[in-house]
Amino acid sequence: MNSAVRVTVPASTANLGSGFDALGMALAMHDVLEVEVADDGLLIEVAGEGVGQVPADSSHLVVRAVRAAFDACGFDAPGLRLRCHNKIPHARGLGSSAAAVVAGVAAGYALAGHKLDDSDLRDEALNLAAEFEGHADNAAASFYGGAVIAWHDGAKHRAVRVEPHPDLAPIAFVPEVTSSTGTTRGLLPERVPHRDAAFAAGRAALAVHAIGTRPDLLLDASADRLHQEYRRPAWPESMRLVDALREAGIAAAISGAGPTVLALPTGAGALPEDLPLTGFTAHRLPVDLDGVRAEPLGAGGPGTG
Ligand SMILES: Nc1ncnc2c1ncn2[C@@H]1O[C@H](COP(=O)(O)OP(=O)(O)OP(=O)(O)O)[C@@H](O)[C@H]1O
Ligand SMILES: N[C@@H](CCO)C(=O)O
């Protein structure tokens, strides 16, 4: 059993255009957390994203996830110390909440003495993390790294990994404004036309092939009919950028529930000069291939690394 662990967890982009709630990909932008079992109490320190905004009590997402993992393992700890070094921006569509939950679950399993290299245990931990979100696209990407296909089999959340083509060179255009996933899910209709569902099935299937084997097909593969247009009023500038990138022949979509825009060019070539980029910061983020990692910390615990 470890009494303290350091967890490194990647950001993620969900949907990839056509694969609403099903496709995801891990991106090389990481939160690093140190979690230690203590004799009593709860101490939370946050640096970087979320300072002064996330709660400093037991409602903190990471703490809730650690506790859920403890429950799943039949383990308990009288107190906890948590130190978060957050890089993933919150409420921008880069899977910050899923990353926090995945990190907390991974920490909880590690502190309870379980290694997540056992595939059954990893699947169980993924299901636990995905239950926090209600869909596993972001959580699976942060868990496994690479690209993922996520689904619910009627009893639990499941996912498989797809090896991304090495030429994929994702760019995240992150705006200053935020957008809550809960709010933009509220903009989605109960029903969609059958022709749109059929379109989505074809493009999502194509997306899996494109991501792994034929990135040149990503422009067609990333075309969405299930969520972006319904959510356009929440982030019109982001949709304007998606439209401009696609018109320039570059595969692009809203990342997760927005407002970040994901572009999936191949190679690190220059972008067109007339893109509507005001208010966005571009980050070239390679695909993270490792997923979440937990390592034991020395006897000194958080703050010694
Ligand atoms: N590292 C973190 N620690 C604590 N709380 C977090 C952390 N990251 C996210 N959260 C909580 O989750 C909220 C953001 O969740 P939300 O699902 O709206 O956005 P997201 O996960 O960044 O984007 P998306 O799900 O579209 O990829 C934050 O406002 C905060 O309450
Ligand atoms: N598939 C999710 C990702 C954000 O959590 C959505 O678009 O709402």
Q: How many A from CA of 266 to the centre of ligand 1?
A: 29
Residue 116 lies in a domain: yes
Q: What is the pLDDT of residue 299?
A: 53
Residue 302 lies in a domain: no
The CATH number of whichever domain residue 36 belongs to comes to: 3.30.230.10
Residue 201 lies in a domain: yes
- Both 187 and 269 in one domain: the answer is yes
Look up residue 269 and give its two tokens: 């070539």
Residue 128 lies in a domain: yes
User: For residue 170, what is the DSSP state?
Assistant: -
pTM given for the model = 0.95
Total domains in the chain come to 2
Q: How many A from CA of 2 to the centre of ligand 1?
A: 27
Q: Which of 23-37, 49-63, 170-184, 291-305 has the lowest mean pLDDT?
A: 291-305
> For 239-273, what is each residue's pLDDT tens digit?
999 999 999 999 999 999 999 999 999 877 778 99
Considering every ligand atom, which ligand is closest to the CA of 29? 1
**What's the average model confidence in pLDDT over 126-151?**
97
- DSSP states of 188-251: S-S---HHHHHHHHHHHHHHHHHHHT-GGGHHHHT--SSSHHHHGGG-HHHHHHHHHHHHTT--
The CATH number of whichever domain residue 186 belongs to comes to: 3.30.70.890
pLDDT at 305 over 80: no
> For 80-124, what is each residue's pLDDT tens digit?
999 999 999 999 999 999 999 999 999 999 999 998 888 889 999
- Both 181 and 155 in one domain: the answer is no
Relative to the CA of 254, which ligand 2 atom is closest? 7
Q: Which residues pair with 163 in a beta bridge?
A: none
- Both 246 and 292 in one domain: the answer is no
Q: What is the pLDDT of residue 117?
A: 82
- Both 8 and 155 in one domain: the answer is yes
Q: How many A from CA of 225 to the centre of ligand 1?
A: 25
Residue ID of nearest Cα to ligand 1 atom 31: 54
Q: What is the mean pLDDT of the chain?
A: 95
238 pocket-lining for ligand 1 (C-beta < 6 Å):
no
Considering every ligand atom, which ligand is closest to the CA of 231? 2
- Both 260 and 280 in one domain: the answer is yes
Residue ID of nearest Cα to ligand 2 atom 8: 257
- Both 275 and 292 in one domain: the answer is no
Q: What is the pLDDT of residue 303?
A: 45
> C-alpha angle 202/196/193, rounded to 5°?
145
> For 184-210, what is each residue's pLDDT tens digit?
999 999 999 999 999 999 999 999 999
pLDDT at 301 over 60: no
Q: Is the dihedral of CA 141, 142, 144, 146 positive or negative?
A: positive
- Both 107 and 24 in one domain: the answer is yes
- Both 157 and 184 in one domain: the answer is no
Residue numbers of the domain that contains 232: 171-284
Pocket probe for ligand 2: among 88, 138, 188, 230, the residue whose CB has the most ligand atoms within 8 Å is: 138
Q: What's the Cα-to-Cα distance from 22 to each of 60, 152, 208, 268, rounded to whole Å?
A: 26, 9, 11, 27
13 pocket-lining for ligand 1 (C-beta < 6 Å):
no
- Both 66 and 158 in one domain: the answer is yes
Relative to the CA of 180, which ligand 1 atom is closest? 18
Q: How many A from CA of 149 to the centre of ligand 2?
A: 13
- Both 144 and 231 in one domain: the answer is no
Look up residue 77 and give its two tokens: 């700890």
180 pocket-lining for ligand 1 (C-beta < 6 Å):
yes
- Both 31 and 132 in one domain: the answer is yes
Residue ID of nearest Cα to ligand 1 atom 19: 91
- Both 114 and 228 in one domain: the answer is no
- Quote the CA–CA distance of 290 and 4 in Å, as a whole number: 21
- Quote the CA–CA distance of 45 and 85 in Å, as a whole number: 9
